[in-house]
Amino acid sequence: SQKIEQNSEALNIQEGKTATLTCNYTNYSPAYLQWYRQDPGRGPVFLLLIRENEKEKRKERLKVTFDTTLKQSLFHITASQPADSATYLCALDETGANNLFFGTGTRLTVIP
């Protein structure tokens, strides 16, 4: 069966450290993978997209890697801040499916 698994439901880290979130998928062949941030009671907000032929993508303090052999994406937030506390969702596009499939998310808490 198809699965998108994010490493843990919750992750706590100290302010200033790097947060690393994992997204693993099974039985998908994505053309690209996206990461979103979701705050309580709000809709997801798009952060980054990485294509199947890209290894790494950066945006300010964010970095995403994509390994199609391991079927895994890593999402890093460097120099984390309490304002980074939120749930982070990975989503992937199955080639030909014309829509996104979402993981259940990891709730990140950055402790001051």
Partner 1 sequence: DADVTQTPRNRITKTGKRIMLECSQTKGHDRMYWYRQDPGLGLRLIYYSFDVKDINKGEISDGYSVSRQAQAKFSLSLESAIPNQTALYFCATSDHSRGDGYTFGSGTRLTVV
Does residue number 40 form part of the binding site for partner 1 (CB under 8 A)?
Answer: no
Helix (H, G, I), strand (E, B) or coil at 83: helix
Does residue number 49 form part of the binding site for partner 1 (CB under 8 A)?
Answer: yes
End-to-end CA distance of the chain: 40
For every residue of 2-69, DSSP letters joined together read: -EEEES-SEEEEETTSPEEEEEEEES--EEEEEEEEE-TTS--EEEEEEETT-SEEEETTEEEEEETT
Closer residue to partner 1 in complex, CB, 14/95? 95
Q: How far is the CB of 81 from partner 1 (least distance, A)?
A: 22
Does residue number 46 form part of the binding site for partner 1 (CB under 8 A)?
Answer: yes
Q: How far is the CB of 41 from partner 1 (least distance, A)?
A: 7
Does residue number 89 form part of the binding site for partner 1 (CB under 8 A)?
Answer: yes
Does residue number 84 form part of the binding site for partner 1 (CB under 8 A)?
Answer: no
